């Protein structure tokens, strides 16, 4: 199974959170399984808030990247885009909303699950849930915006 991030063009693959070409980054991978997207990440031990708890910034980062990746997956599916290297639509974040429901333990694998809420033109709304050992600790919503085809930096 190939992650959506591995279908991005090279120039869109340098994200610290999910770019396959960013050697220092998290290299998050987003997969579609059924109607849900899945991503997994085990935080480094220095990513603390308070001892033993994952810091909120990392959790926001993971939700952000899994959110834009999920938007790409759902948009491609809805628009009948057959994914191949490197034709995946590239989304950026317009708005990120994160609710920290309970402390997220460090040193354990986190599982992020994404669901499509709405596609409206170039705008895709996804919800993301973060689980640690099957316990929901963080919820997020991402409004992702499709980059224009002629986007240049």
Looking at 2, 11, 108, 136, which residue binds a copy of itself (CB under 8 A)? 11
Answer whether 115's CB lies under 8 Å from 126's CB. Answer: yes
Element containing residue 57 per DSSP (H, E): helix 56-78
The minimum distance between CB 121 and a copy of itself, in angstroms, equals 18
Piece in contact with a copy of itself (CB under 8 A), picked from 44-52, 109-117, 119-127, 129-137: 44-52
- What is the CB-side half-sphere exposure of residue 68 using CA atoms within 13 A? 26
- What is the CB-side half-sphere exposure of residue 23 using CA atoms within 13 A? 0
Q: Give the residues across from 32 on adjacent strands.
A: 37
Looking at 38, 81, 83, 92, which residue binds a copy of itself (CB under 8 A)? 92
Looking at 81, 93, 111, 129, which residue binds a copy of itself (CB under 8 A)? 93
φ, ψ of residue 5 in degrees (nearest 5): -65, -20
Interior CA angle at 122 toward 116 and 125, to 5°?
25
Cβ-based nearer residue to a copy of itself, 17 or 89: 17
Looking at 42, 85, 94, 107, which residue binds a copy of itself (CB under 8 A)? 94
Looking at 2, 16, 85, 135, which residue binds a copy of itself (CB under 8 A)? 16
**Cα–Cα distance for residue pair 128/24, rounded to 1 Å:** 24
DSSP for residue 94: E
In the window 113-152, what residues touch a copy of itself (CB under 8 A)? none
The minimum distance between CB 34 and a copy of itself, in angstroms, equals 27
Q: Which residues bind a copy of itself (CB under 8 A)?
A: 11-12, 14-17, 19, 22-25, 46-53, 55-58, 60-62, 64-65, 92-100, 153
């Amino acid at each position: 199974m190939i992650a959506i991030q591995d279908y991005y063009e090279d120039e869109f693959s340098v994200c610290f959170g999910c770019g396959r070409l960013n050697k220092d980054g998290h290299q998050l991978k987003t997969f579609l399984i059924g109607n849900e997207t899945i991503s997994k990440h085990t935080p480094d031990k220095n990513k603390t808030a308070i001892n033993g708890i994952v810091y909120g910034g990392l959790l926001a980062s993971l939700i952000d990247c899994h959110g834009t990746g999920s938007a790409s997956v759902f948009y491609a599916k809805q628009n009948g885009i057959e994914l191949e290297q490197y034709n995946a639509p590239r989304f950026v974040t317009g708005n990120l909303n994160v609710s920290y429901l309970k402390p997220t333990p460090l040193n354990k694998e986190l599982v992020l699950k994404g669901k499509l809420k709405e596609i409206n033109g170039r705008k895709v709304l996804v919800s993301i849930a973060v689980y640690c050992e099957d316990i929901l600790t963080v919820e997020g919503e991402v409004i992702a915006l499709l980059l224009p085809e002629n986007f240049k930096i």
